[in-house]
Amino acid sequence: MTSTPLADGGPALPALWPSDAPAAFHVLAKPSGAICNLDCTYCFFLSKELLYPGDRFRMAEDLLATYLRQLVEAHRGPEVTVAWQGGEPTLLGLPFFRRSVELTEQLLRPGQRVQYTIQTNGTLLDDEWCAFLAEHHFLVGLSVDGPRALHDAYRVDKKGRGTFDRVMEALATLQRHEVDVNILCTVHAANQDHAVEVYRFFRDDLGMRFLQFIPIVERATPDTLQVANLGWSGSRKGRPLYTNRGSLVTERSVGSLAWGRFLAEIFDEWVRHDVGEVFVQHFDAALASWLGVNPAMCIYQETCGVALALEHNGDLYSCDHFVEPEHRLGNIRDTHLVELVSSPQQVAFGLAKRDTLPAYCRSCDVRFACNGECPKNRFTTTPDGEAGLNYLCAGYKHFFHHVDEPMRLMADLLRQGREAPDVMAVLAERDAARFRGVGRNEPCPCGSGRKFKHCHADA
């Protein structure tokens, strides 16, 4: 890589600022496209390789310069996020990322700040990488699905071997260099019934404070289900390109109610012990909704369309979950990013999240927090037969109802000028009164249906 800025040759900022341009937006850039050094069984993104047959899957240096220039130009506010993802972005090698930082620093206008983020499986991170990530204050999203057996259930390499040890080694190196790490934990058939075990592993064994849980929902049609169940590795014969079609799900996918229970069980542990110490993205988003503030997660917002995905060749897609031909907005070599982000196609994509919500959702008592979640998961029908209900609906109803009381409490405390962690003392008092004198083998008074000793006895 050269050390001087490139005349990148991409389109210039349009003379007239597009009227629909958002104040801020987020792009997940995939410099290696769908290419990854692992073969996680549930990773349907591996199949996106089929979108670009014969390609080298490597973002060219002039395109990198075009992208970063357009990204900085398209942000009028003080904050710009440069976010890398894959596939596995570290396959591009450290010189690519050194160059990306060098270019970004040259491009920032006075008063503009940058946040670098990268999502990685961690297996290629060494001391040199981690020193670089620390130096530039990268926020690293590291994929870990729980303790060894749960992680290795699906997170395997090209030879089908578990990756747990390699990821733990990477985490230790990241921690030694004091890099900010967010755990990205997918929730699926193998770990969905181990919520508290997974949470305690992250909190106690790994010492992690920032957690994101991501439901695995792999859609399939009757024609694709059998092959989809085998996984998305390039070594599978007849692997289809994954698109958001079909109303079946693979056997690895999380169950709808299981997803809600997973979140609810972790919430019970968190709200009694860890508020203000451990940050779980879904809980922060829910609290924002209970406070009447827009949650930070697009899936819970009324509309979306400001979280896009950039492929290695400059193709821009409406969203990371819609990298498929009909959601390709154009290429940043031909059209400036700000024009693509504000294009009628993208505006319509974002508004459709609200405008296609079934009546069942519109009259739902937790719609203010759920908003029908992500359109990619809306492929079931409502009880009265309307299409477009979210596959995870039962889980979301369970979770949002479950957290209603403590969320109200936390929101009230914050409105009174107190702090969210004060909720732990309030709940401790309530629990003491509610659970006093309950026998360990009696049904738990919380109504879970479980014995007290298996439920709130420890609370």
Residues that bind ligand SF4 (CB under 6 A): 298-299, 304, 307, 319, 321, 353, 360-361, 364, 366-367, 370, 372-376, 390, 393, 396-397
The nearest distance, CB 361 to ligand SF4, in angstroms, is 3
| Cβ distance to ligand SF4 smaller for residue 353 or 402 | 353
The nearest distance, CB 21 to ligand SF4, in angstroms, is 17
| Cβ distance to ligand SF4 smaller for residue 298 or 310 | 298
Distance CA(310)–CA(27), nearest Å, equals 7
The nearest distance, CB 318 to ligand SF4, in angstroms, is 7
| Cβ distance to ligand SF4 smaller for residue 274 or 373 | 373
Distance CA(292)–CA(298), nearest Å, equals 15
Q: What is the DSSP letter of 247?
A: S
CA 191-192-196 angle, 5° bins: 80
Q: What are the angstrom distances between the C-alpha of 432 and each of 196, 385, 400, 428, 436?
A: 22, 45, 24, 6, 6
The residues, ordered by sequence, that sit 6+ positions from 55 with a Cβ below 8 Å of its Cβ are: 33, 312, 313
Distance CA(450)–CA(442), nearest Å, equals 8
| Cβ distance to ligand SF4 smaller for residue 232 or 396 | 396
The nearest distance, CB 230 to ligand SF4, in angstroms, is 26
The amino acid occupying position 114 is: V
Q: What are the angstrom distances between the C-alpha of 257 and each of 193, 214, 376?
A: 11, 14, 18
The amino acid occupying position 246 is: G
Distance CA(442)–CA(447), nearest Å, equals 11
The nearest distance, CB 101 to ligand SF4, in angstroms, is 26
Q: Sign of the CA dihedral 265, 268, 271, 275? A: negative
| Cβ distance to ligand SF4 smaller for residue 331 or 380 | 380
Query: Does 193 participate in catalysis according to the annotation?
Result: no
SS (H, E, C) 268-309: HHHHHHCCCCCEEHHHHHHHHHHCCCCCCCHHHCCCCCCEEE
The nearest distance, CB 84 to ligand SF4, in angstroms, is 17
Two tokens, residue 31: 């410099």
Give me the catalytic one of 204, 320, 384, 412.
320
| Cβ distance to ligand SF4 smaller for residue 183 or 304 | 304
Distance CA(138)–CA(94), nearest Å, equals 13
Residues annotated catalytic, as ranges: 320
